Amino acid sequence: MTRRSDPAEPGITRRRRGRGFSYHHPDGRPVRDRRILARIRKLAIPPAWREVWICRDPDGHLQAVGTDSAGRRQYRYHDDWREKQDRLKFDRVTELAARLPAFRRRVAADLAGSDLTRDRVLAAAARMLDLGLFRAGGAEYDSFGLATLRTEHVTCDAERVRCRYDGKGGKPVETEIRDPAVCRVISALLDVGPGELLRYRDGSGWRDVRAEDVNDYLREHLGEEVSAKDFRTWHATVVAAAALARAPRSRSRT
């Protein structure tokens, strides 16, 4: 059974040694125990990681932490912990599937407005997530997602919205959405002027939409445990199920 581990606690550290690495206990002694070294090798910590912390407890839920070449914190989790989280994730997807019809009706109602209000713009964002499988986006990554798209990334006509931008890992992303209600919102947002694409107007003026705003809208109408990531998981599940349904059945009983 896994136990909660905390990288703020003393752990095993990694030091460059020739072409490889040496590992050291919190008191500086080199790690020589073969079982510990085998566990560390199994974690497959990338050589490029800096400031590596390794949990001393083989049953700790968080086994290693490091900083990658882009300056982002990265994590290695215990296999049992990842399996548990995967089960919970797909449980959430099952719940999401049951709630989607009512949610889509709510999105349609919010899109029916005429002003660029919070609910109408966030409804457009939610439908784009549902149709385009966007990542939510965030300022902490040097890439774009739905909430960080800028007007120069988007073109729009009466029938479709086209988005071209650099996504996670710098990979170019091209997405096309065919939805008249979304097109009307995006067209109106482009008319506001250059800058962040998703923004709404309230009594204090214009406000840029953040990833937290999109997730808040989802949680308001789908439940506290739902986030933008669950839409990607849901659609991946649907695609996988469809592929399995089309696959020829094996005649073997083994």
pTM reported for the whole predicted model: 0.65
Whether residues 24 and 140 fall in one domain: no
Whether residues 143 and 206 fall in one domain: yes
Q: What is the pLDDT of residue 250?
A: 55
Q: What is the pLDDT of residue 90?
A: 75
pLDDT digits (tens, 9 = 90+) for 65-119: 999 998 888 999 999 998 888 777 777 777 778 888 999 999 999 999 889 999 9
DSSP, collapsed to helix, strand or coil, labels residue 68 as: coil
Contacts of 64 (CB under 8 A, 6+ apart): 43, 45, 52, 53, 54, 55, 75, 76
Whether residues 21 and 123 fall in one domain: no
Domain stop point among 30, 48, 77: 77
Q: Tokens 């029938």 identify what position?
A: 159
Q: Is residue 6 part of a domain?
A: no
Choose between 168 and 212: higher pLDDT: 212
Q: What is the pLDDT of residue 251?
A: 58
| Strand arrangement of the beta sheet that strand 172-177 belongs to | 154-156, 161-166, 172-177
Domain CATH number, residue 34: 3.30.66.10
Q: Quote the percentage of the chain above a pLDDT of 90.
A: 61
Q: Is residue 253 part of a domain?
A: no
Q: Is residue 243 part of a domain?
A: no
What is the C-alpha separation between 102 and 105, in angstroms, rounded? 5
Rg of the chain on CA atoms, in Å: 23
Query: Using 50, 70 and 90 to split pLDDT, how confident is the model at 33?
Result: very high
**Arithmetic mean of pLDDT, 201-209:** 93
Whether residues 140 and 59 fall in one domain: no
Q: What is the pLDDT of residue 181?
A: 96
**Arithmetic mean of pLDDT, 118-143:** 83
DSSP, collapsed to helix, strand or coil, labels residue 95 as: helix
**Arithmetic mean of pLDDT, 6-26:** 96
pLDDT above 70 (res 122):
yes
Whether residues 106 and 221 fall in one domain: yes
Q: Is residue 1 part of a domain?
A: no
CB-count burial class (<10 Å; 0-12, 13-18, 19+) for 64: buried
Whether residues 203 and 172 fall in one domain: yes
Q: Is residue 241 part of a domain?
A: no
Q: What is the pLDDT of residue 190?
A: 97
Q: Quote the percentage of the chain above a pLDDT of 70.
A: 89
Domain count of the chain?
2
pLDDT above 80 (res 225):
no
Q: What is the pLDDT of residue 134?
A: 86
Domain CATH number, residue 212: 3.90.15.10
**Arithmetic mean of pLDDT, 167-182:** 89
Least confident of 32-46, 174-188, 227-241: 227-241
Domain that holds residue 107: 96-232
